[in-house]
A and B are shown apart, each in its own frame.
Chain A
Amino acid sequence: MNLNALWAYANPKKFIQTTDKVLPWVSVLAVVSLVVGLIWGFFFTPEDYRQGSTVKIIYLHVPSALMAINVWLMMLVTSLVWIVRRHHVSALAARAAAPVGAVMTLIALATGAIWGQPMWGTWWAWDPRLTSFLILFLFYLGYMALWEAIENDDTAADLTSILCLVGSVFALLSRYAVNFWNQGLHQGASLSLDKEENVADVFWYPLLVCIAGFVLLFIALVLLRTRTEIRARRMRALLARERMG
């Protein structure tokens, strides 16, 4: 595929037209894979011999934690695109993604606490992974608050994208700083490419379906929110023109 063709979607009209066709499919696929993945995971997998049925919260916890980080990465990319090429759709997509990412982080933290209570005997521990997720959540809050606080749209897009760049560096720093600061209770990666470390296959396939569901759900939500924002902006422009005329 010609990469240059991608920039065509920076045109809001083209973006709306294309997403008109894509959005229903993505939404339906998201619902289907979430329903299939969660039902498969909750009712048709064996119980873990040590953790019992609590292991099943993995089908919410891992996908949401994965998305919490990837949403921030997506915001970083779209912020860079806005700074370099100044495509409005890109800035709006970053704005649209932030609350979704914040909710994903919250889901990961909440399900983690619910899982941690029976397994570790505590709702919360100052473990590096938990702590860095909490910090990530704070970054999301600050980012969204800055968007809300500034009235001029272009100024807000500029400032938030620079904040996103700076914040990414510091979030990464914090991620490794907390490793240094306290020893972990959390297990290692459950999804590394190294097969040895991974969870067993029976849990693995429904988990993959759930992750696909979360990714699709995120795409659907971001497309929807970006379209809403584009339309709201167009409406504001029309109203302003009417008042002038």
Chain B
Amino acid sequence: MIALLIRDLRLAIRAGGGFGLGLAFFLIVVTLVPFAVGPQSDLLARIAAGILWLGALLSCLLSLDRILALDWEDGSLDLLATAPLPMEAIVSIKALAHWLTTGLPLVLAAPVFGLLLSLPEAGYKPLIISLLLGTPALSVIGTFGAALTVGLKRGGLLLSLLVLPLYVPILIFGAEMARRGVDGLDYTTPLLMLAGITCGTIALLPFASAAVLKVNLR
């Protein structure tokens, strides 16, 4: 399992642009927003938390099809399927590798980008906690979507159509938590809801992803 994780991480970092791409996309979104809504810092401060969440979500979406597509094309997915590792473990590892290479850098970069969008000081802690809690679920759900569309020629657009509705609850609670933090309100409730959804997703969704992947490898 560890070997698979290390292999995936190495591939993601070395093989052409997958690693920094999400981060660069996030930066571009954050840069474009002031052009779209105007540079007034009070307006930006009000929407910063939401923009950062949306940007994180979109950059996560951007790299989803890379989770399984490359392994599918060169046949290593078939090899993995015949390995003694259960399929559930394989998809979980894939999701973890995706989170480590996409989700975690986004979480770490978010405070810097928050600075760019003049996010109020009270907002940093809830924003980082909510992203830290929410992005693993984004990766796990994304792996499910990638497993659904892995056999398709042009699965990218379909992947977004399938995955985005599934992201709704996480976005709602995550952004709500960050927003409440900015306003100086108590954010325990959305924090607990977000943590609950993430834990449930990580615990249960790999079974669905594994089932889907088995169908696709049939």
Contact = CB atoms under 8 A, between A and B. Distances in A.
Contact of A165 (B149, B164, B189, B208): B208
B161 interface: yes
Contacts of B8: none
B24 interface: no
A49 interface: no
A241 to B, nearest CB: 23
A43 interface: no
Interface string B178-218: 00000000000110010001000000010010011001101
A28 interface: no
A166 B189 CA distance: 24
Interface in B120-153: 144, 148-149, 151-152
A199 interface: no
B168 A135 contact: yes
Interface stretch (A19-27, A117-125, A154-162): A154-162
B169 interface: yes
B164 A138 contact: yes
Given A159-B212, A177-B168, A145 B205 contact: no
Q: Is the interface of B mostly helix, strand, loop or mixed?
A: helix
How many B residues touch the partner, as a band?
Answer: 20 to 34
A155 B189 CA distance: 41
Interface string B143-181: 010001101100100100110111011001100100000
A158 B176 CA distance: 35
Contacts of A171: 165
A178 B211 CA distance: 30
Contacts, number: 75
Interface in A147-184: 149-150, 155, 158-159, 162-163, 165-167, 170-171, 173-174, 177-178, 180-181
A180 B172 contact: yes
A202 interface: no
Contact of B216 (A141, A145, A159, A181): A159
A158 B215 contact: yes
Nearest to A166: B208
Contacts of A158: 212, 215
A171 B151 CA distance: 25
Contacts of B176: 180-181
Given A141-B161, A145-B158, A155 B215 contact: yes
A116 interface: no
Contacts of A80: none
Residue of A167, A170, A171 contacting most chain B CB atoms (<10 Å): A170
A165 B165 CA distance: 14
The 6 closest A-B pairs by CB, nearest first: A173-B169, A177-B169, A158-B215, A177-B172, A138-B165, A142-B162
17 contacts: A138-B164, A142-B161, A145-B161, A149-B155, A155-B151, A155-B218, A159-B216, A162-B148, A162-B208, A162-B212, A167-B165, A170-B165, A177-B169, A178-B168, A180-B172, A180-B189, A181-B176
Given A142-B158, A155-B216, A162-B148, 5 more contacts: A135-B168, A149-B149, A149-B158, A155-B215, A159-B148
